[in-house]
Amino acid sequence: MRGAALVLLLLAGCGPVAPSYRDASAPISSQADFDAARYAGRWYEIARFPVPFEEGCTAVTAEYGLLADGRLSVRNACRAGTPDGPLREIGGTAELVGPGRLGLRLEGVPAVVPYWVLWVDADYRTAVVGVPSGRAGWILNRAPAIPEDRWKAALEVLDFNGYDVAKLVPTVQGAR
């Protein structure tokens, strides 16, 4: 994906100052009983905080697979401009570094990025992901549309973790 290296350096805190969507004085926590095997599979991005590497992206998905060594394979994809636009992808791996906390490595990016699963519902249908710096965050769902009750729960999780939910941007998914 265009600009992925830059944004990941920003997320890791190694580059120029990027906007933070989270009150740094608020505590942030990850899902203590996170299960990487249940997290594996396809997720649809429902909403995100604006980040340069996803500018102009629609139909955003993340695909995770459980590897033999316990890490997760990662493949992020989006369509540029419209749900029928050109496909952009980037892959990598994620290693569990704490409860609900992953160290994300993407192809061609030298930094390991902290990727925290802040919440996932009991059936692993909806997840909220963020980074401790607050420079990025996502609401993910197993289907392109999210039920109202899980949407509200996801917003509450972001708010609890200090995120400014008013700055969330809905993701256009289109037909699949």
Q: Domain containing 66: what range?
A: 4-170
Residue 13 lies in a domain: yes
> What pLDDT is attached to residue 18?
66
* CATH code: domain of residue 147: 2.40.128.20
Residue 175 domain-assigned (yes or no)? no
Q: What is the pLDDT of residue 74?
A: 97
**Contact between 62 and 75 (Cβ < 8 Å):** yes
Q: What local confidence, expressed as pLDDT, does residue 138 receive?
A: 98
pTM here is: 0.88
Domain total in the chain: 1
Specify if 176 maps to a domain: no
168 has pLDDT over 80:
yes
pLDDT in tens, 35-90: 999 999 999 999 999 988 788 999 999 999 999 999 999 999 999 988 889 999 99
Read off the amino acid at residue 10.
L
Mean pLDDT calculated for residue range 164-169? 97
Gap between the Cα atoms of 70 and 139, Å rounded: 24
Cα–Cα distance, 74 to 92 (Å, whole number): 5
Those residues whose C-beta lies under 8 Å from the C-beta of residue 91, and which sit 6 or more positions away, are: 73, 74, 75, 76, 106, 107
What pLDDT is recorded for position 89? 93
Q: Where are the alpha helices (DSSP H) in the chain?
A: 4-12, 36-39, 148-160
The answer to whether position 128 is within a domain reads: yes
pLDDT digits (tens, 9 = 90+) for 83-132: 889 999 999 999 999 999 999 999 988 899 999 999 999 999 999 999 99
Give the model's pLDDT for residue 135.
94
